[in-house]
Structure formats: C-alpha cells, structure tokens
Amino acid sequence: MDPPPNRIAITTGGGDAPGLNAVIRAVVLAAGRLGWECHGIRDGFNGLLAPAGCLGEPVVPLSADAVQGIGHLGGTILGSTNRGNPLRFPVRQADGSMAEQDRCGELATLLRKRGFDALVAIGGDGSMEIAERLHRHGLVVVGVPKTIDNDLDHTIQTFGFDSAVGFATECIDRLHTTAHSQHRVMVVEVMGRYAGWIALHAGIAAGAHAIVLPEIDFDIDAVAAAIARRDAAGHRHAIVVAAEGAQPRGGARAVQATAGIGQAERLGGIGAWVEARLAERCGKECRSVVLGHLLRGGSPSAFDRVVAARFGAAAVRALARGESGVMVTLGGQDIGTVPLAQLAGRSRRVPLDGDTIRTALELGICLG
C-alpha cells in the first residue's frame, strides 16, 4: 500500500461524456476534506506532453470554488482529446513524416517534476491502458471509468450511458410521429463501436421495430421481412435502430476513416447503408438519421450525476486507503475497485444469452 497523497493530478481523456464535470467536482471536494491539493491537466495529457497547444494554463489548480456549480454541466472543464495517447503519441520526424512514439515514461517524469503524488485518470479503455502503464512506471494511479458506450469491463454501468440512452430515446420518440405520418421507414444510427448497449436500450425504450447490433451480424433481408409483416398487418411505418459498429452478414463495418498515426478508426455510415437496402427491398420511402455526437453533449441525467459523484468520491477513498493501479467500479449497489491489469484487452459487450436480448425478442423486435 502507498502512503496517502497530498497533491493529486486529475485528467479527462478520450471522447467526452455527460458526467465528467461531476467526477472532477467530487474528486476535488472529497480530496479537499482530507487537506489534499488538486490540479487539472488540460486536454487529456496534452497539458504536459504538448502544452503549447492548450488554451490557457496547461495545468490548473482546482479548488472547491473552481468546481462550484459544474456538476450539472456537460463536457469537461479540463478539455479532452482522443488524439494524444502517450503510448502512441504522434511525433513529427526529421523528414517531415509522422510516427507514433511511446512517451509514457516521459509523462511519468513530468508528473513527478510537477510534484504530483497521485493521478486520478477519468476515461475509457484507452485511458485505463495509459493509467495502468503509468502505474507500472511507479506512479500512484486510480482510474475512473467513462464511456457512453457502456463497454468497459468489470463495471455494470458507466456515467454518460444513461444520458445517451435518454436522449436517443427522446429522438426516436419524435421520429415515430413523423414516420407514422409519412408512412416511412426511419433508420436511426447511434454510437456503439463494438457494443450495442445504447442501440438496444434506446430501441427497447422507444419501441423500435428492429435493432442491429455489433454483437450480431445481421441479415438485411430479415429486417426487410419484419417491415413487410408490419405492412401486411396495416402498420405502414417502422423504426430501425442501428449501432454504428453493426455489421451485415457477409459484409463489413461501415468505416468513415481508417486508423492513422495518432488516430483511431472512425466508424459511420451503417444507417445510410441500411436505409438504401431497405428502400430497395421494401419499396417504401426510407430515411436515415445519425445522432452521433448529440449523444455526448448536454447535461448529464440525475442518475449519471450520482454515479459520477460516487465514482469521484470512491477514487479519493481508494487513494486514502493506499490503493494504486486500480479502477473504481459499480457492481450491484456498491462501488468497489478492480486492478487495471485485469482490464487489458477486455470489453463489455451485450450478452446474447442475457435478459435484455431476450426481452427484445419477446417484444417482437427484429434483431436481424
């Protein structure tokens, strides 16, 4: 066990999610009650590795006054990035080309030079991988899970997911009325690269007629047949929800941009693909809508605010107990911790034998 810290660094990395500010606030307030000092690193770890690109001071003090009234705000007051992974940091070479470089050891040194005793890293699977590597470099680190996709292993839910599902549900509710009026098929593309939690939950909540997920290679003809059955029964509109990582049987995922130096693969376009194929097969007017980053924006739901606050306070408790190299997790009703090393290469996908999939099928929803 490590001794309790006196000076904590806080960082938010990867894609933003509703609830990040609530975590920051909770860490600062809980640490302040123990007499600990908190500082925020801007834009993931770029505040240390590429400070010239940050607006304002790259490392900022975070007092109770500084975090007053931020718990209900979306985004993150520290900024974030998904293009500054210190394990694969883009560095310009002498010939002008770009190459990826592991700067994690340098980052650990910079954190120590700043006088930080511990780091609270708030982020998704990439941020947890970085946190685990920093722990191996001898830093005291506690991770806080963040992803609207809800695909981080060892925690039953992450903040941001409830907010994303709530907004997606509201959008699909609205699309029902226009689809019904115009006798259309509406295809709604939502986030979910490798796990279809948002699509499945929002689809069930909003009464979708078909849902396609990354976990099930779908048959477009089966989806078209489900729509035809609705038509035959006198129901002339349909709603299809598609996770961005859904893949047609015998086909490939829809990719907007391939992975490059310092940049992950970017998915998108499955909604338009499904729209075009259904129009061909069903002879109906079809439209597609991409919710995309709308799901990341806006204020967090009450549930996400509470989970985020609990995660932030639990991270401080873990540090006070001398824990390091762990991530706080929600298991059942309680917050616990799990070693970061156990997260490597793992993700939490929708279980095909689980109750939620079974519920969708029993409601008559086509899953392709």
Is 148 among the annotated ligand-binding positions? Answer: yes
Long-range contacts of 255-263 (CB under 8 A, 24+ apart): 261/90, 261/98, 261/99, 261/100, 262/83, 262/84, 262/85, 262/88, 262/89, 262/90, 262/98, 262/100, 263/83, 263/90
Q: In CATH terms, are 7-159+300-343 and 163-296 the same topology?
A: yes
Rounded to two decimals, the pTM is 0.93
Query: What is the per-residue DSSP string for 120-170?
Result: EEEESHHHHHHHHHHHHTT-EEEEEEB-TT---TT-S--BTHHHHHHHHHH
What is the rounded CA–CA span in Å between residue 88 and residue 299?
32
Residue 119 has pLDDT above 90, yes or no: yes
Q: What are the pLDDT digits (tens) for 215-261?
A: 999 999 999 999 999 999 999 999 999 999 999 999 888 787 776 77
The interaxial angle of helices 220-232 and 270-282, nearest 10 deg, is 50
Mean pLDDT, rounded, of the chain:
93
What is the rounded CA–CA span in Å between residue 84 and residue 126?
11
Domain ranges of the chain: 7-159+300-343, 163-296
Is 287 among the annotated ligand-binding positions? Answer: yes
Strand partners, 211: 241
Is 149 among the annotated ligand-binding positions? Answer: yes
Give the number of C-alpha atoms closer than 13 A to the C-alpha of residue 2, restricted to the C-beta side.
20
Residue 117 vs residues 39, 132, 256: alpha-carbon distances, Å: 11, 16, 41
pLDDT, position 99 = 82
Weakest mean pLDDT among 91-95, 126-130, 132-136, 312-316: 91-95
Is 180 among the annotated ligand-binding positions? Answer: no
Q: Looking at residues 267-293, what average pLDDT do you find? A: 93
Place of tokens 């005291």: 140
pLDDT, position 2 = 63
Is 95 among the annotated ligand-binding positions? Answer: no
Alpha carbon 291 to chain centroid, angstroms: 15
Is 293 among the annotated ligand-binding positions? Answer: yes
Is 244 among the annotated ligand-binding positions? Answer: yes
Is 128 among the annotated ligand-binding positions? Answer: no
pLDDT, position 264 = 72
Is 323 among the annotated ligand-binding positions? Answer: no
Strand partners, 10: 40, 120
The one catalytic residue in 16, 43, 149, 151 is 149
Is 77 among the annotated ligand-binding positions? Answer: no
149: annotated active-site residue: yes
Q: Looking at residues 179-184, what average pLDDT do you find? A: 94
Q: Position 190: which residue type? A: V
Q: What are the pLDDT digits (tens) for 2-12?
A: 667 789 999 99
Is 80 among the annotated ligand-binding positions? Answer: no
Burial class (CB in 10 A: 0-12, 13-18, 19+), 341: exposed
Helix (H), strand (E) at residue 210: strand 210-212
* CATH of region 7-159+300-343, choose from 3.30.70.100, 3.40.1500.10, 3.40.50.800, 3.40.50.450: 3.40.50.450
The interaxial angle of helices 161-182 and 197-205, nearest 10 deg, is 50
Q: What is the DSSP letter of 6?
A: S
Helix (H), strand (E) at residue 92: strand 89-92
Tokens coding 169: 């549900």
Q: Looking at residues 328-339, what average pLDDT do you find? A: 93
Q: What are the pLDDT digits (tens) for 39-64?
A: 999 999 999 998 888 888 999 999 99
pLDDT, position 261 = 73
Q: What is the DSSP letter of 343?
A: G
Residue 5 CB coordination number (10 Å): 23
Helix (H), strand (E) at residue 234: none
Record: fold of 163-296? Rossmann fold (3.40.50)
Residue 55 CB coordination number (10 Å): 8
Is 295 among the annotated ligand-binding positions? Answer: yes
Pair 147, 158: CB distance under 8 Å: yes
